[in-house]
Structure 1
Amino acid sequence: MANEGFFERVYEVVEQIPEGMVATYGQVARLVGEPRKARFVGYALHSNPRPGIVPCHRVVFADGSICEGFAFGGKEVQRVLLEGEGVVFADDDHVDLSVSRWPAGLA
């Protein structure tokens, strides 16, 4: 399958996001060398073959919003997981990216 290499690169990057920080889908796409494939990062994470190892809950949208349909229980579960790691929220549905964004790949 053509996506296997891309998906595996996504998992390798996401595994590096430190506890207490988040990255955006676009940021992960840039870090794997495919800056226009943020949506495909989402597909990869939805197919996460290693739940609990690949911390896909640490990936959010460009505006800091958490995923409505978080694959592992909804946005409430994603928020609880992130808050449990110390991620700071700006409001009920948005991570404060100025505080909790992983700086990897940012210019």
Structure 2
Amino acid sequence: MGAAYIEQVHDVTRLVPAGRVTTYGAIADFLTLGSARMVGWALFNSIRADDIPAHRVVNRRGELSGRNHFATPGLMQEKLEAEGVVVQDDRVRDFDRLFWSPTELLHQ
């Protein structure tokens, strides 16, 4: 995985609106290169970067699968809840309603 791919993942992640979530797979599909796992790895080293909202990226079931990579396991949930996202049992409630697809960028 090259630096250009990592930067593309970061660029898409920066576009996820506050109060919404997307998935690793949705980002991978949008970039048409790589897999959900590769997106996860690209975000793993960016979790501490304030300009990359990695907390808005969840797995395909709306689960906070990346929560253990944050400074504390509860930080991902805290950041989402600060944006109005309700998290219950490590899963985004109303995931289908809050899901944001990067393909929405193509329809603007």
CA shift, 1:69, in A, is 4.5
Give RMSD over aligned pairs. Answer: 2.0
| Closer, same or farther: CA 72–26 of 1 in aligned 2, 3 Å | same
Structure 1: 5+ residue runs without aligned partners?
A: none
* TM-score, length of structure 2 as denominator length: 0.83
Structure 2: 5+ residue runs without aligned partners?
A: none
Q: Over residues 72-100 of structure 1, what are the superposed CA-to-partner deviations in whole Å (9 max), with x where a residue is unaligned?
A: 224311001001101133x3211131121
Query: Aligned partners of 2:23 and 2:72: how far apart in 1?
Result: 18
CA shift, 1:50, in A, is 6.9
Percent identity over the alignment?
A: 34
* TM-score, length of structure 1 as denominator length: 0.84
Count of paired positions: 103
CA shift, 1:103, in A, is 3.4
Query: Is the CA contact 1:88–1:100 (under 8 Å) kept in the aligned structure 2?
Result: no
Query: Is the CA contact 1:14–1:55 (under 8 Å) kept in the aligned structure 2?
Result: yes
